[in-house]
């Protein structure tokens, strides 16, 4: 009797598991990204309701507002390049419906061609239509809340650059990374950003320095796109690389070669990201951690110099310059060259740089 009951219980459990699996398969067949796949008949039923403006209907992915391109009036939905779907869509009101003929099979083609896909939202009483395009690249969204102006010192830059209206900009950011795990698919926080690099100040597409901040305005180190934890980041505009691919390939090759030789230090690691600044699509960038003591894992006995910019007269530091820096126990030569590690002066800290300049320039 007990054996019979055990067998019946086992059969019941197997049947229950099979039923659950079948139910999930049926649910997956009619849903995508947590939204319902709607056929033509369902869409006709939705659009028979009164239509309302899409202005108050904001599209979210994993609970965060998606990047929005105000010039085109479309949302950007980052997704894996392999055609899989990850995350869930939601809105400020109503339920999300995805036209099955557009979303079920044609997502990869739409991503490759840059075509927009339709998204319908309805709460049973009204409906609206949104447009979305799929991107195989992570997206960074920055919203500016306030700006603090500053001026370049005309002593060190040309008159044209010194007259530029520059600012430290403070606000909030969201990074969308569909290939990340559930914890890192969206990263949010406070940020300060500003233009970076004298040579790109007059360019239409700027490079940026990003400083991640906590609620108190202090540095807030976070891992972005698996590149490691840091509070300081760069957005590189690929100004000298019209292919947007050459520089990244070169950096990757150097990383691989450096791993073969203990004497070669690793360079920067760069990942692609699309930038949306105050609901304006700015373009494709490379995001990277700056070369620093942390990224190079320097010891207390190592030295790290930073060459910031060339003097206006194009001169190089001389032996007298280095002697003066040593005498004054200074860690910087104007705004052009500095010792960024170690943080405190020690005798002979400029000697390696003096030898370098003598060897290659004088």
Average pLDDT by stretches of 10, the chain with 362 residues: 61 45 44 97 97 94 97 96 93 97 90 95 97 97 95 66 81 97 93 85 88 96 94 92 92 90 83 97 95 84 88 86 96 92 94 94 86
CA-closest candidate to residue 173, choices 278, 77, 79: 278
Task: Give the per-residue SS3 of the chain.
Answer: CHHHHHHHHHHHHHHHHHHHHHHHHHHHHHEECCEEEECHHHHHHHHCCCECCHHHCCEEECCEECCEECCCCEEEEECCCCCCCCCCEEECCCEEEEEHHHHCCCHHHHHHHCCEEEEEEECCCCEEEEEEEEECCCEEEEEEEEEEEECCCCCCCCHHHHCCCEEEEEEEEEEECCCCCCCCCEEEEEEEEEECCHHHCCCCCCCEEEEEECCCCCECCEECCCCCEECEEEEECCCCCCCCCHHHHHHHHHHHHHCCCCCCCCCCCEEEEEEEECCEEEEEEEEECCCCHHHHCCCCCCCEEEECCCCCCCCCCCHHHHHHHHHCCCCEECCCEEEEECCCCCCCCCHHHHHHHHHHCC
Rounded Cα–Cα distance for residues 37 and 226 (Å): 33
Q: Answer yes or no: is 17 within a domain.
A: no
Q: Which of 276, 293, 310 is the last residue of a domain?
A: 293
Q: Answer yes or no: is 14 within a domain.
A: no
Predicted pLDDT at 8? 58
Show the tokens assigned to 38: 């709607």
Q: Which of 135, 170, 202 is the last residue of a domain?
A: 135
130 and 208 inside one domain: no
280 and 179 inside one domain: yes
Predicted pLDDT at 1? 56
Predicted pLDDT at 7? 61
Rounded Cα–Cα distance for residues 221 and 294 (Å): 12
Q: Answer yes or no: is 72 within a domain.
A: yes
160 and 273 inside one domain: yes
Pairing of strands 127-135, 74-78: parallel
Q: Answer yes or no: is 8 within a domain.
A: no
Predicted pLDDT at 263? 79
46 and 173 inside one domain: no
Q: Which of 135, 162, 192 is the last residue of a domain?
A: 135
285 and 302 inside one domain: no
Domain tally, the chain: 3
What's the domain range around 317?
A: 298-360
Predicted pLDDT at 12? 56
145 and 272 inside one domain: yes
149 and 95 inside one domain: no
131 and 228 inside one domain: no
200 and 113 inside one domain: no
118 and 246 inside one domain: no
Show the tokens assigned to 160: 């044209």
272 and 161 inside one domain: yes
288 and 182 inside one domain: yes
Q: Answer yes or no: is 124 within a domain.
A: yes
């Amino acid at each position: 009797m007990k054996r019979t009951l055990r067998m019946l219980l086992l059969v019941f459990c197997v049947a229950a598991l099979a039923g659950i699996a079948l139910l999930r398969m049926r649910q997956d067949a009619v849903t995508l990204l947590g939204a319902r796949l709607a056929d033509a008949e369902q869409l006709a039923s939705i659009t028979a309701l009164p239509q309302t403006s899409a202005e108050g209907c904001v599209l979210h992915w994993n609970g965060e507002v998606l990047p929005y391109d105000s010039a085109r009036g479309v949302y950007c939905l980052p997704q894996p390049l392999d055609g899989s779907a990850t995350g869930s869509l939601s809105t400020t009101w109503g339920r999300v419906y995805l036209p099955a003929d557009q979303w079920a099979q044609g997502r990869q083609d739409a991503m490759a061609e840059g075509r927009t896909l339709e998204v319908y939202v309805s709460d049973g009483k009204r409906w609206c239509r949104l447009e979305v395009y799929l991107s195989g690249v992570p997206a960074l969204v920055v919203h500016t809340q306030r700006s603090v102006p500053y001026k370049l010192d005309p002593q060190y830059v040309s008159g044209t650059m010194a007259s530029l209206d520059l600012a430290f900009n403070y606000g909030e950011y969201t990074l969308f990374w569909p290939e990340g795990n559930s914890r890192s698919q969206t990263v949010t926080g406070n940020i300060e950003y500003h233009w970076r690099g004298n040579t790109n100040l007059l360019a239409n597409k700027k490079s940026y320095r990003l400083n991640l901040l906590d609620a108190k305005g202090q540095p807030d180190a976070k891992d972005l796109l698996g590149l490691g934890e840091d509070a300081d980041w760069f957005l590189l505009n690929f100004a000298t690389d019209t292919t947007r691919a050459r520089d990244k390939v070169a950096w990757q090759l150097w990383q691989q070669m450096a791993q073969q030789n203990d004497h070669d230090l690793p360079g920067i690691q760069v990942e692609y990201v699309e930038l949306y600044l105050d609901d304006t699509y700015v373009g494709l960038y490379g995001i990277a951690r700056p070369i620093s003591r942390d990224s190079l894992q320097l010891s207390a006995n190592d030295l790290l110099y930073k060459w910031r910019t060339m003097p206006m007269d194009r001169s190089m530091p001389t032996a007298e310059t280095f002697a003066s820096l040593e005498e004054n126990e200074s860690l910087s030569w104007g705004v052009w060259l500095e010792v960024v590690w170690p943080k405190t002066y020690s005798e002979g800290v400029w000697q390696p740089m003096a030898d370098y300049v003598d060897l290659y320039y004088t």
